[in-house]
Structure 1
Amino acid sequence: MTSPYPPSTSISPSDMAAGAKKPTDLPQAQIDAIIRTKRKAREPKACYPCHARKVKCDRNLPCDGCVKRDHADLCSYERPSKKRAQAFESPAGASTSSAAEPTEYYSYDDIPSRVKPENTHPGPDHLGVGGRVSIARDEWDNVRSRLKEMETTISSLRMGLERAEESPAVGPDSGSVQSAEGASRSKGNSPEREGIHAANTFGKGTVHLGSRSVMAYILNNKSGSDQLQALLEGGILPKLGLDNESATYPFVDLWSSDMSSFDISAVCSALPADGQCRQFFYYYRDISGAIYPVIEDITKFENDLELLLAKRLEAGGVYREDGDQAQTPFGTSIAYLGLLYAVLASGCQSSDLGSKERELTSQVYVCCSYQCLRMTNFLSQPTIEAIQTLLVIGNVLSYNMNPGISYVLLGMTLRMGLALGLHVESSRFSVEERYRRRHTWWSMAWQDSHFSLSYDRPSTTAVSQPNIAYREGSQPGDFSYFETLCKVISLALEVVRIRMLSPNAHITFSSFQEYQERIRQIMIEAKPYLRDPQYCSSSTEHLERVVLKLHSSYFCSELCRPSLKPSAGRADANTVAMRKDCVSNLVTTVDAYIELHNISYHAARSWIALQRAISSAFLLAVVEEAKSDSHVLTALRRLEGIIAQRASSERAYDNGDVATSNITSSDQGMASYDPVTGATNPRGLSHPLSMLPLLRDLAPNLKLNGPNL
């Protein structure tokens, strides 16, 4: 077999005449020296300061580490020795020996050692290839030991300097809240670098929002920074749906303080009457479950519900334990019962009940659902049904304005999904089971991607993902709502993954145009009713169309949001174009929410939709171009009117004044839809009413002079 390696290097006639030695006769030390000098240079994996500090480098220029340590001018990917030679070498004092040395670039991990040649003229036995000099092994070991001591000394000095740099220093305000008092801030901290550390409203510690979050962008904007800083210290995050509105533990055991005991009969007794069960399920199926479809086969779930109600009727409405001690309440599993309670809690939130009754009822059902999860030992024995239950519960908690709890709960849910291997494809499962696994994973990715974009936090689902959850037989031009939504989520996770790998990277105008084109292509491949309202045959289809429009436009605005920074180049044509596109997509997001409200008051309670609409309104409030745009002002006035109307209607309903609460929007473009009666929905408003004062606070920036301000 022919060797893959090249033949041995040739020996010059002068070398043969002088020593007449073969290459194999060279001493080992000299061979090692030759190998080291012939080593190929590699691209640096880090800038030199980060390499010297032995810290992670994001490979930007300047990198984030050098910027944070206030020596961005030192950030370089070239050899420092070369730069110093150019900076300090004088024309007259340059030695011939140093001038003759060839210039080379090396990776910092692979800088070759150099040995000063001896003054004596080397004989044939000491002269190597290319005129290089070999030294004795003991002498080389001595040099290495001294270098090792120097490296240890430098490392200890570096650690001391880093501790001194990272210690808190009293300096001027930079806008990052670090404590509940919000008075002391570290020198150099800014929302653009470190995001926001807002005080936790209901406890110690802080809530972090990254530098790409909406709040950080507004805080960096001089026209709204002082106002927002005061709002942050006054607890704005719960009102924006970015933190918990209450500190109540959501999973209280309603029956016993003994966590080791489970009373299945008590849990079954909490099921509402048949009519109420069906009603809450219909609200979930046609509103909450349509917007966020966690259950992959809602028809099968409904059939199982009818079976449960029939079995309960046969048992006289009371649970009786089977003779074999198998816990199958009314012919169903405890896992299904837990998912049913989560569905009832979600459906209750979309019902006509008043806000207080909705909140309390949904909280009871959440506790029942979590009790069923405990009975199935879901942590040590995770299942897809348990993950679906937790996803619906998390959505309910967000609806109840506790997204902080929902975010933490989602982290546990994601770990359960990873434990089941939902992120990988496997041929061991049937076609139906593979679809179910993909559907559940993308349902997790939907919440995870939203939290990652809203809070500017890392994502778990962005690291690895299975195929899109396509139904068997799906074709381009006929993709369903969930399939289309999954493709938009995939783009969002792609952006999140890039930001995780390069925190300081910003999208270019060409990349933004590419993402916009991909969004357009996704919509072209969707069902016709998702693109054009003329093809919608039901209010549920209208909901899916508008929700998809809202999320895709918000994602596009997220991509080009860096162009809204005050530091962005206003003279650059690409930046101007991106700013224009960003404002346009923000307005489209607000318009889509207004249209969603016109279709159904109940669906407008969607926490994700409302939070994105309010975030878009906040950004529009501080963008100079938006303040003179009549379309922007009209959209914001309509949004403010919706929130004011909801506040008035909700208070009237909770006080029992049904006649007063029967208020319809003055701009009712499409009839609201009640999934039970098919009638127009006159009421049904939720906690986000507390956002009305926030819009009033921003009104001076918007110059809105409506009657409600």
Structure 2
Amino acid sequence: MEEESSISKSQRARLTCSECYRRKIKCDKNIPCGTCIKRGLSDLCKREEQVSSGQNALAHPSRNEQRPHGDLVRTLLDRVSQLEAKLDQGKEPTRVKTLGMEIDHISSPFLPANAHRQHSNRNVISTSKDTENTEGDEITVLEFLAWGRKKNADFGDSPEDANGPRKQSVGLDSSSITTDFMSANIRNVQLDMLEALLPASEHIKQLVEYHNKCLLWYHGSYSSKTMNDDLHTFFTEYSGSPRHEDLNLQWLALLFAILCCSITCSSPRTCRSWGFSNAERNSLSLKWYEATVTCLNMARYIEVHSIYSVQAISTLTISAHILGLSNSQSVLLSSAGRIAQSLGLHRLGSETESASSTRDQLRKRESARRVFIQLCIQDWFSIPFSDSYALDPRYWNTVKPLNCNDEDMSPQPQSIPTDASYCNYRYDIAALMPQLLDAVSNCNTLFTKYEKVLEFDEKMRKLVTAYMPTFLSTGAPVASSWPPFVSWARRSLTICAAHKIIMIHRKFLGLSFTNSAFSFTRRTCLAASKTIMKEALSAVDENGPILWIEQAFTVAACIIFSLDAFHRNPNENEYEEHRKYVSDGITYLKRFENSKIATRGVQLLSSLQQALEVGRKRPRDEDTEDPCPAEKRVKFDIKEFIKQVSQNLQVTTPAATPIAEQMESAAEIAWDNIYDLLPPGAGFGGQNLFDDFFAFHP
């Protein structure tokens, strides 16, 4: 008793408020404290009531040193025994619902559940910490702490949630910590380069404003309102200098990413209005991409995880492919996915009705949801090319972002365009891909696999008709109150949806040229390719943004026209029609002198045209009554063609799985050989088409 009395007398009442103590951030010990007032939590700012000695012992083990070690060990062993007993009882772990798909929903019809979910998921899904931290996690949590990692991180409670450009304070993360690879001199040189690359404040504001209005709708990787506030802090408190010792370099990486995308994706007319020449634009776009990666590396982003690194990498996607840096971008996106999970972005369930959140707090969580679904889109659009995906929707519970604007955060109907609406709808399209992969993987014959392809073809068609938001429908009038991106979004979606149909049928496109059982695929892909060409060639907006998908998918459509022409008689009407499409595509792509996608696409399509012309001049057998006989096929050595094009473009031919034994004719292997060279993610969300095939050696 005397011992316990002495311990209790030695304990001093904690003056730090409960909110600051829970978040492990600085508190001025006033009630309400300055930190809580700034965060809008003054009503929650209070000191904890007197805690029991048992709670105090758990919270402060160092104050319980007088307790015998044997008792502590015995307590832990008892706890382990209890957990093992519960496991032996066969209690199944809690299964969480997913963003847009429950586990059972993977095999069920997608569209009706999705349409209902848009209105009801926020009231159904719960993020109670009691359900997230299931029984048995305590041991894993302790083990992760020994690794220096935190299990089940809560992004909403993260101290960096309101840091902005301020450097995050995380204990071991200190600028004084250097390695053999990063000396102080090298760091100074890098800071000098970053300082030289950063434009004047007026240019920065112009480029950020352009990105917020003309590009952010397409990827939604950050909050425009938050970015504007942070930019004001950067100029007022840090004088706009990258060398400030308290500047968060991961936030600076996001700023460089925004600048890079603005100057890369803006039209030549817009770029000239800012005062940038074409030569300076070409140089700065690449340098700003590299500056983004430099900032991330200097901030040790792979060790010190931050939402800003995830946002920076996700933002870079729309410029990386135009710059020909898809290989680098795919690696960065993979790391961003792991960082996002480490931060708990995959566990951002619905907002509970009892939660007291300020508008700023809601904006932070919504921006985190937006960047996470963008990572999902990137990952799932790569499925047709990698036959795998990293972000499995069965194992996280982040809900789809609200359809709202950053300024007021007020939910709007699905028919009203907002900062989040286009990406939300594109997410619904991307969500078909993991379902299709899982369905096809469970089939064992071409017939049953093709049945699944036709099933998802129908789902895709319904999704872009019955479930399309009104503002994206080309038949609906454009309201004067709608933002200017609506017209760009309509064209982009039309091209994307057409390309998505091609992606669903991709595995059977090669066979469709020779096997009548798959003729529906051939007709469907040709119709989709014509839609892509029609939309791309009709674009006349000289002030609108340049989106990489319009160029990449034009190349994809022209490849399909070329392959179809290889399997037609030159006397057929379609033969000349499709050759004309390819010629028009080449003319269209030549307009984009600054795009590596367009430049390399011109070279590839020109080579295909030459091969088609040579094959047409070769003599054919006369008895060709069959509309699709083998003798009618243009003789085309696909392997030799790939070898020659690779040499001309100074690239190494990617490894492809030999399929000659299964498909002996050039007609059957043409599609697979060409498209096996495509990089992961050549979907219409933010990965590139053909960059592995066309990427020049550095």
Q: Does 1:599 align with 2:525?
A: no
Cα 1:527–1:265 change in 2 (3 A) is farther
Q: Deviations over 1:97-141 (max 9, x none)?
A: xxxxxxxxxxxxxxxxxxxxxxxxxxxxxxxxxxxxxxxxxxxxx
Match runs of 1:32-71 below 5 Å: none
1:442 aligns with 2:373: yes
* d(CA) in 1 for partners of 2:478, 2:519: 36
Q: Which residue of 2 aligns with 1:275?
A: 202
**2:343 aligned residue (413, 420, 425):** 420
Post-superposition offset of 1:384: 1.6
Residue 690 of structure 1: how far off its partner (Å): 3.2
SS of equivalent to 1:475: coil
Q: 1:541 & 1:388 partners in 2: Cα distance?
A: 23
- Secondary structure of the 1:460 match is coil
| Preserved contact between residue 387 and residue 416 of structure 1 (Cα < 8 Å) | yes
Letter in 1 for 2:253: G
Matches for 1:426-465 after TM superposition, within 5 Å: 426=349, 431-453=362-384, 455-464=385-394
User: Which letter maps to 2:337?
Assistant: L
SS in 2 for 1:560: helix
1:259 Cα deviation from its structure 2 partner: 6.1
The reply to whether residue 541 of structure 1 matches residue 486 of structure 2 is yes
Structure 2 counterpart SS, 1:377: coil
Measured at CA, do residues 282 and 685 of structure 1 come closer, stay the same or move farther in structure 2, by a change above 3 Å? farther
Does structure 2 conserve the Cα–Cα contact (< 8 Å) formed by 1:438 and 1:468? yes
In the alignment, the residues of structure 2 paired with residue 565 and residue 342 of structure 1 have an alpha-carbon distance, to the nearest angstrom, of 39
In the aligned structure 1, how far is the partner of 2:441 from the partner of 2:545? 33
Instruction: Determine the C-alpha separation between the residues in 2 that align with 1:409 and 1:417.
Output: 12
Q: How far did residue 622 of structure 1 move?
A: 0.9
Pick the aligned partner of 2:252 from 337, 357, 363: 337
Which residue in the other structure is 2:302 paired with?
A: 379
Q: Which of the numbers 609, 630, 639 marks the counterpart of 1:699?
A: 609
SS of residue in 2 equivalent to 1:473 = coil
Assess if the C-alpha contact under 8 Å between 2:562 and 2:579 holds in 1: no
AA in 1 matched with 2:552: Q
3-state SS, counterpart of residue 346 of structure 2:
coil
Judged with a 3 Å threshold, the aligned counterparts in structure 2 of structure 1 residues 257 and 603 are, in CA distance, closer, same or farther, namely farther
The one-character-per-residue Cα deviations of 1:369-423 (angstroms, maximum 9, x if unpaired) are: 3333234332222122210112223443322112112112211111112222323
Out of 263, 267, 292, the position equivalent to 1:348 is 263
Note if contact 1:335-1:372 (Cα within 8 Å) is conserved in structure 2.
yes
Q: Cα–Cα, structure 1 residues 303 and 594, in superposed 2: closer, same or farther, change >3 Å?
A: farther
- Name the SS for the 1:541 alignment partner: helix
Cα contact 2:242–2:252 (8 A) shared by 1: no
Select between 356-365 and 254-263 the one with higher mean Cα deviation: 254-263
CA distance in 2, matches of 1:603, 1:566: 37
Q: Alpha carbons of 1:268 and 1:539: their partners in 2 closer, same or farther (altered >3 Å)?
A: same
1:688 aligns with 2:598: yes
Distance 1:487 1:278, change over 3 A: same
**Which of 284, 289, 298 is the matching residue for 1:366?**
289
Distance 2:393 2:494 in 1: 26
Aligned pairs (5 A) from 1:494-533: 494-499=435-440, 505-506=449-450, 507-523=452-468, 526-532=469-475
Other structure's SS at 1:598 match: coil
**1:613 equivalenced with 2:554 (yes/no):** yes
Q: CA deviation at 1:320?
A: 7.7
Partner of 2:401: 469
Equivalents in 1 of 2:577, 2:543: separation in Å?
Answer: 23
Q: 1:365 to 1:566 in 2, by over 3 A?
A: closer
Tell me the distance in 2 between the aligned counterparts of 1:567 and 1:690: 27
On the 8 A contact 1:283/1:347 being kept in 2, the answer is yes
8 Å Cα contact 2:260/2:319 also seen in 1:
yes
1:456 is aligned with what amino acid? S
Q: Distance in 2 between matches of 1:501 and 1:356?
A: 52
Relative to 1, partners in 2 of residues 1:417 and 1:255: Cα closer, same or farther, differing over 3 Å? closer
Q: CA deviation at 1:500?
A: 5.7
Q: 1:404 to 1:420 in 2, by over 3 A?
A: same
Q: Does the aligned pair in 2 maintain the 1:462–1:496 contact within 8 Å?
A: no
1:643 aligns with 2:589: yes
**Count of aligned pairs:** 397
- C-alpha contact (below 8 Å) 1:589/1:613 kept by paired residues: yes
- Aligned with 2:226 (options 300, 304, 314): 300
2:221 touches 2:367 (CA, 8 Å); kept in 1?
Answer: no
Give how far 1:621 is off. Answer: 1.1
- Contact 2:590 2:599 survives alignment (8 Å): yes
C-alpha distance in 2, partners of 1:396/1:503? 40
The 5 A counterparts of 1:537-616 are: 539-566=484-511, 570-572=515-517, 575-595=518-538, 597-600=539-542, 603-604=545-546, 606-616=547-557
Equivalent-residue separation in structure 2 for 1:257 and 1:620 (angstroms): 56
Q: What does residue 670 of structure 1 align with?
A: none
In the TM superposition, residue 467 of structure 1 has moved relative to its aligned partner by 2.6
CA deviation profile, 1:133-180 (whole Å, cap 9, x unmatched): xxxxxxxxxxxxxxxxxxxxxxxxxxxxxxxxxxxxxxxxxxxxxxxx
Which position in structure 2 is the counterpart of 1:402? 325
8 Å contact from structure 1 (residues 394, 409) kept in 2: no
Write the distance in 1 (CA, Å) between the matches of 2:412 and 2:439.
30
Name the CA distance, whole Å, in 2 between partners of 1:501 and 1:415: 28
In structure 2, relative to structure 1, the CA distance for the partners of 1:515 and 1:363 (3 Å cut) is: closer
Q: Residue 327 in 1 paired to residue 226 in 2?
A: no
Give the aligned partner of residue 80 of structure 1. none
Alpha-carbon contact 2:529-2:557 (below 8 Å) kept: yes
Give the whole-Å Cα distance in 2 for the aligned partners of 1:536 and 1:256.
57
Unaligned runs of 5+ in 2: 1-180, 404-409, 615-698
Tell me by how many angstroms 1:266 deviates. 6.0
Aligned in 2, Cα 1:702/1:603: closer, same or farther, shift over 3 Å? farther
- What are the superposed Cα offsets for residues 430-481 of structure 1, whole Å, 9 maximum, x if unpaired? 544442232111111222233333x334211245453322336343434621
CA drift of 1:354 comes to: 5.8
Point out the structure with the larger helix share: 2
Q: For 1:435, give the aligned amino acid.
A: E
- Highest Rg: 1 or 2? 1
C-alpha spacing 1:371/1:384, structure 2 compared with 1 (3 Å) = same
Query: CA separation of 1:485/1:503 partners in 2, compared to 1, >3 Å: closer, same or farther?
Result: farther
Structure 2 distance, partners of 1:278, 1:485, is 29
Change (3 A) 1:456 1:583: farther
Bigger relative CO (Cα 8 Å, ≥ 6 apart)? 2
| Equivalent position SS for 1:275 | helix
Secondary structure of the 1:487 match is: helix
Alpha-carbon deviations, 1:17-63, whole Å to 9, x = none? Answer: xxxxxxxxxxxxxxxxxxxxxxxxxxxxxxxxxxxxxxxxxxxxxxx
Deviations 1:498-536 (A, max 9, x none): 45666973334344223322332231xx13244337417
Cα 1:577/1:394, change in 2 over 3 Å: closer
Query: Aligned equivalents of 2:293 and 2:454: distance in 1?
Result: 47
